Chain A
Amino acid sequence: MANVTACERVEPLLAPWADGTLGADEAPALEAHLRACAECRELAAAGREVHELLRARADQLKERAPAALRERLAAGRGRAAGQPRATDLLARWVPASAAAALLLAVVSVVAVGSLGGARVLAAQLTLDHLKCLLLADTSHAADAARLAETWARDRGWHIRVPPSSPEARVTLAAMRRCLYGDGEMAHLIYERGGQPVSLFILPRPREAAPILAIMGHETIAWAAGDRTYAVVGKLTHDELAEVAGYLRPLAR
């Protein structure tokens, strides 16, 4: 077992040796060991083989990003050149003035650790609310049951999605997955009177103030079971409270 320490000592050198990046000062010691140790020799040879194969095939292994993804990401540039945005709905939802709000929200999220968790969370949700409007496909009404099913299948935890309701004047448009501090949350996007309203479902308890206004967007949050819920939108307080009143008993 005298070899154990020697093998352990040279182990970090095997990978750079195999791809030809090992320094000239270290190579002789490694090669002396390789002559003496069949096991390390085999590991080194396998490394060289696989490295060469992967280099030769790198271009075939790389995939092209889907065109739709590229277009979404490049959307900012398209607009700057004076072209209309892909969906009219989106253009209506994100007026130029929201730009300033988003910029401020970014600044708050980055700069305000001291403001307290509730405010940071509300700022983060406002930011996600605006951000996801650019990424989500909101061109037609969505099926609540199907979204819930997709979520459970892809994410491994269940949510109940409140459906569209003509009485509550709420239309379900899209679902996204968003990230927050320590995990992922469900982001449901609704429309009410031409304005987007977001419902966030966080899978665990979070510090959240019941009502908070950030950059002209109000957040109404509540907790139920071990989950946290928040509704975000740029509506009047009464309108948003109405939407929250409709969503609250149905969301889970």
Chain B
Amino acid sequence: MRFWRNKAPGGTGGAARDDEFEGEALAHLDSLFSTAMRLTRDRSAAEDLVQETFLKAVRFSDRFERGTNLRAWLFTILHNTHRNVRRGAGRDPVQVDSETVEQAAINSSGGHNPEQALLRSTLSAELQSALDALPEAYRQAVWLRDVEEFSYAEIAAMLEIPAGTVMSRIARGRRMLLQQVTRTRLAARE
């Protein structure tokens, strides 16, 4: 995708820099792909999303400030691209999700006592399905925090929402995940 490089004016200094940039970006490929999978829940859509992310990153690599967090920058591009695609598809998932889930959170609040052993025995595949069953806004916030380990501020910047909203989505998302897993586990026992 950088086949123009050899023809670009200015010798090879830029080329070496580009190579380095691309190498560093590729180091985050698995992370980006996993996240794209959780966002799209579809393999070919996830591949498209990651490709588009890389093309944009390379296209605008001169805007990336060296020494800053490349991983956060790539994830920001990934989420922006995902948002654009969803907008193009004519709906705003975050709004839809918020309503549904605000309601779900209200309905399910109170009186639930998590069983630790039950949770610990959860298979990773079950955990994956439980994550995928969460509404998108909660799924992406919990994933970015607990699996990808971004800070609250980084997630807020990536998703373009206030940090307080990120925190409350993560708190609620985690509980929804627990309820989802508990339901699956109990059903499996019966």
Given contacts A12-B164, A46-B175, contact A39 B109 (CB under 8 A): yes
Task: Say if the beta carbon of A36 comes within 8 Å of chain B.
Answer: no
**B46 → chain A closest CB, angstroms:** 9
In contact, B15 and A80 (Cβ under 8 angstroms): yes
- If over half of A's interface residues share one DSSP class (helix, strand or loop), that class is named, otherwise mixed; here it is helix
Least distance between B165 CB and chain A CB atoms (Å)? 9
Within 8 A of B (CB), among A36-60: 38-39, 42-47, 49-51, 53-55, 57-58, 60
Residues of B with C-beta under 8 A to A135: 51
Q: Which residue of A lies closest to B170 (CB)?
A: A15
Complex contacts, A12 vs chain B, CB 8 Å? 163-164, 167-168
A134 to chain B, nearest CB (A): 5
**Cα distance A215–B113 in the bound complex, in angstroms:** 65
CB distance from A250 to the nearest CB of B (A): 25
Quick check: is B96 within 8 A (CB to CB) of the other chain? Answer: no
Please state if A182 and B33 are interface contacts (CB–CB under 8 Å). no
Q: How many residues of B contact A (CB 8 A)?
A: 71
CB neighbors of B among A147-197 (8 A): 154, 156, 177, 179, 182-184
DSSP class of B's interface residues: helix, strand, loop or mixed?
A: helix
Across the interface, do B1 and A179 meet the contact criterion of CB distance under 8 Å?
no
B67 within 8 A of A: no
Interface residues of B in 132-179 (CB under 8 A from A): 142, 145-147, 149, 151-152, 163-164, 166-168, 170-172, 174-175, 177-178
Contacts of A97 in B (CB 8 A): 7
Give the CA-CA distance A100 to B8 in the complex, in Å.
7
Contact A43 B171 (CB under 8 A): yes
Other-chain residue from A42, A74, A179 in contact with B85 (beta carbon distance below 8 A): A179
Contact B175 A43 (CB under 8 A): yes
Near B by CB (< 8 A), chain A positions 210-228 give none
Tell me whether A69 is interfacial, beta carbon within 8 Å: yes
Which residues of chain A are near B175, meaning CB under 8 Å? 42-43, 46-47, 50
B100 at the interface (CB under 8 A from A): no
**With an 8 A cutoff between CB atoms, is B94 at the interface?**
no
The verdict on B98 contacting chain A, using a C-beta distance below 8 Å, is no
* Contact of A14 with B114 in the complex, beta carbons under 8 Å: no
Residues 6-20 of B, flagged 1 when their CB comes within 8 A of A and 0 if not, give 111000000100010
Q: Is the CB of A15 within 8 A of B110?
A: no
- B112 adjacent to A96 (CB under 8 Å): no
Q: Does B101 sit at the interface, judged by CB under 8 A?
A: no
Q: Are A131 and B1 in contact (CB under 8 A)?
A: yes
Chain A residues positioned under 8 Å from B26 (CB to CB): 70, 73-74
Measured between C-beta atoms, what is the minimum distance from A100 to chain B in Å?
6
**Looking across the interface, which residue of chain A has its beta carbon closest to that of B112?**
A42
Query: Of residues 75 to 125 in B, which have CB atoms within 8 Å of A's CB atoms?
Result: 81, 84-85, 87-89, 109-110, 112-114, 116, 119-120, 122, 124
- CA gap between A100 and B167 in the complex, in Å: 46
CB distance from A225 to the nearest CB of B (A): 17
State in angstroms the CA–CA spacing of A160 and B110 once bound together. 53
CB contacts (< 8 Å) of B58 on chain A: these are 76
Residues of B within 8 A of A1 (CB): none
Q: Which of B1, B43, B164 has the most CB of A within 10 A?
A: B1
In the complex, whether A35 has a CB less than 8 A from a CB of chain B is no
CB distance from A62 to the nearest CB of B (A): 4
Among candidates B1, B29, B87, residue contacting A65 with C-beta atoms closer than 8 Å: B29
Does A31 reach chain B (CB closer than 8 Å)? no
- A112 vs chain B, min Cβ distance (A): 15
Known: A39-B109, A102-B3, A154-B44. 13 other contacts (CB 8 A): A14-B168, A42-B112, A50-B146, A69-B29, A72-B51, A73-B29, A80-B2, A80-B19, A96-B6, A98-B4, A103-B7, A131-B1, A179-B52
Taking Cβ atoms with an 8 Å cutoff, the residues of B that contact A are: 1-8, 15, 19, 22-23, 26, 29-34, 37, 43-45, 47-48, 50-52, 54-55, 58-60, 81, 84-85, 87-89, 109-110, 112-114, 116, 119-120, 122, 124, 127-128, 131, 142, 145-147, 149, 151-152, 163-164, 166-168, 170-172, 174-175, 177-178
